[in-house]
Amino acid sequence: MDKIKIVVAGPRGKMGKEAVQLVMNTENYELVAVLDRKYEGMKLSEIEGFGNADVPIYTSAETCFETEKPDVLIDLTTPEVGKLHTKTALSYGIRPVVGTTGFSKEEMNDLEGFCREKELGCIIAPNFAVGAILMMKFSQMAAKYFEDIEIIELHHNQKLDAPSGTAYKTAEMIAQVREQKKQGHPNEHETLTGARGADYEGMRIHSVRLPGLVAHQQVMLGSDGQSLTIRHDSYNRGSFMSGVKLAVDTVVKLDTFVYGLENIIE
């Protein structure tokens, strides 16, 4: 079987570093290049920490895809760049696996339309950790019985987007089974802006940012006299890599757009 040729975008980032190692250590994967925002023309092995990664660094997605002709792009960058990379990959017939978070609903719809047009698979996964997917599914299941819900997501303080893609996705999944409802007292008001968190169809989402954290989320569901808390913690970025592998193995056989790993795990 031919190896799956892969480009990783954002290789020096916290997630990107892990993804580079995953690709290099997986037998049927071949890391053909990386996409960075600097070091054009250098080899990744010249960057500290990547001694054994003898692949070229590109700063232009077009040049990279044209030259290296990968099968899959793994994007772990920033929302603006990630969106561009994803679209460019699709236009070159390359299937994207996107871990980058912070895409708007419109951007997601746009990418879905583009996938349909190109008849190419694309997986956008706000969370690659299998435990986090289960946390989202369990929360959706519980939301049938508890309509008052507060989502608290906690991340390291270098995260750019808020709320997290996982919190957003959790709220979307819950909204599929929960009647829209404004929570709290009808006359409640904030004496400090933001105190009640973000509002998603009446549910509240709170974003905590602290150094030392990785990626954590708890969903608190309450009703008269009882509450249920569902919590997931990622303690390191290795927790995401089995999901990245599952997404790569799936996307190469896929001709549609998939948003969320829960759609590809049983």
DSSP summary character for residue 191 = S
Q: Does 77 bind ligand NAP (CB under 6 A)?
A: yes
- Phi and psi dihedrals of 153, rounded to 5? -110, 140
- Binding segment for ligand NAP (CB under 6 A), chosen from 29-37, 45-53, 139-147, 202-210, is 29-37
Which of the stretches 14-22, 110-118, 180-188, 218-226 binds ligand NAP when contact is defined by CB under 6 A? 14-22
Question: Considering the rule CB under 6 A, would residue 69 count as an interface residue with ligand NAP?
Answer: no
Residue 65 within binding range of ligand NAP, rule CB under 6 A: no
Should residue 209 be labelled a site residue for ligand NAP when binding is judged by CB under 6 A?
no
23 is a site residue for ligand NAP (CB under 6 A): no
Pairing between β-strand 72-75 and β-strand 57-58 as defined by DSSP bridges: unpaired
Residue selected from 33, 89, 90, 125 as contacting ligand NAP according to rule CB under 6 A: 125
Chosen residue from 10, 70, 163, 260 binding ligand NAP by CB under 6 A:
10
The rounded distance, in Å, linking the Cα atoms of 135 and 74 is 24
Q: Is residue 155 annotated as a catalytic residue, yes or no?
A: yes
Task: Verify binding: residue 96, ligand NAP, rule CB under 6 A.
Answer: no
| Residue 229, strand partner residues | 220
142 or 214: CB nearest ligand NAP: 214
Contact between 240 and ligand NAP per CB under 6 A: yes
Q: How far is CA 53 from the centre of its chain?
A: 24
Using a 10 angstrom Cβ sphere, with 0-12 exposed, 13-18 middle and 19 or more buried, the burial of residue 184 is exposed
Q: How many CB atoms lie within 10 A of CB 109?
A: 12
**Strands ordered across the beta sheet of 257-259:** 57-58, 29-35, 4-9, 72-75, 95-98, 122-124, 257-259
What number of other Cβ atoms are within 10 A of residue 153's Cβ?
A: 24
Catalytic residue of the set 155, 169, 206, 216: 155
Is 206 a catalytic site residue?
Answer: no
Which of positions 159-178 make contact with ligand NAP (CB under 6 A)?
Answer: 159
- Taking the complex as a whole, how short is the minimal distance between the CB of residue 144 and ligand NAP, in angstroms? 26
- Minimum CB distance to ligand NAP, residue 223 (Å): 31
Residue 13 found at the interface with ligand NAP (CB under 6 A):
yes
The pairs formed by 176-181 with CB atoms below 8 angstroms and a separation of 24 or more are: 176/140, 177/140, 177/143, 177/144, 178/143, 178/144, 178/147, 178/149, 178/203, 179/147, 181/147, 181/148
Among 21, 88, 127, 250, contact with ligand NAP (rule: CB under 6 A):
127
215 in contact with ligand NAP (CB under 6 A): yes
CB of 9 to ligand NAP, least distance (A): 5
Task: Tell whether omega for the bond before 56 is within 30 degrees of 0, i.e. cis.
Answer: no
In the complex, the smallest distance separating the C-beta of residue 220 from ligand NAP, rounded to whole angstroms, is: 22
Residue 93 token pair: 């017939």
Q: Which positions are annotated as active-site residues?
A: 155, 159
Binding site for ligand NAP (CB under 6 A): 9-10, 12-16, 35-37, 76-78, 81, 99-102, 125-128, 158-159, 215, 240
